[in-house]
Structure 1
C-alpha cells in the first residue's frame, strides 16, 4: 500500500504551534492528539519563533512607508487651515 503525504494548512499549523508554545501539554501529547510526529511539531515551532521577528519588523516597515514626516504634515495642516479660513470668510 502506497502512503500519500499529508499536507497541512497554515491555520492548522498555527493552532498546533500556539498550543506547543503555551506548553500546557508536552509535544508528545500534542503529537498523539493531532496524529503528528513530535519532530514535525518541533520544526514548526522553531520556524514560528524564527519568523516571529519578521512579523513585527514588517509591520513597522509598512507604517514607516505610509507615515508623513511631522514637519511636512504640520505644513499641510497649516495650509489647509488657511484655505478653510479663507473659504469661511469669502462664503460667510
Structure 2
C-alpha cells in the first residue's frame, strides 16, 4: 500500500525558511523540530531569498512586467510560426 504524500502549508514553509535564514539552529535541528527533510528546508530558504523582492514590489510594477512578458511571448510565437 502506498503512503500518502505529505504536503506542507505555505505558513509552515515560510516559518521554516525564516528560521533557516536566521541561522540560529543547524539544518538537522530544524529538520527534527519541524519533522521535514533538511533538503526541503534548503529549498524553501532558497525560494524565499530569490522571491523576497516580489513581496515588496508595487502591484502596478508587477502588472507592467507581466504585460511585457505576454508581449514578448506573443511576438516570439509570431516569429516561430
Distance of 1:59 and 1:19 partners within structure 2: 27
**Does residue 14 of structure 1 match 2:14?**
yes
Note the aligned Cα RMSD (angstroms). Answer: 1.9
Match runs of 1:11-90 below 5 Å: 11-58=11-58, 61=61
Which structure is richer in relative contact order (CA contacts within 8 A, separation 6 or more)? 2
> Residue 78 of structure 1 corresponds to which residue in structure 2?
none
> Residue 76 of structure 2 corresponds to which residue in structure 1?
none
Give the CA deviation at 1:45. 0.5
Distance of 1:26 and 1:58 partners within structure 2: 35
Larger Rg: 1
Runs (5+) with no aligned partner, structure 2: 63-81
Runs (5+) with no aligned partner, structure 1: 63-92
Distance of 1:19 and 1:31 partners within structure 2: 11
> Residue 77 of structure 2 corresponds to which residue in structure 1?
none
SS of 2:57's equivalent?
A: helix
Give the CA deviation at 1:58. 3.4
Distance of 1:52 and 1:60 partners within structure 2: 17
Count of aligned pairs between the two proteins:
62
Moved over 6 A (4+): none
Give the CA deviation at 1:32. 1.0
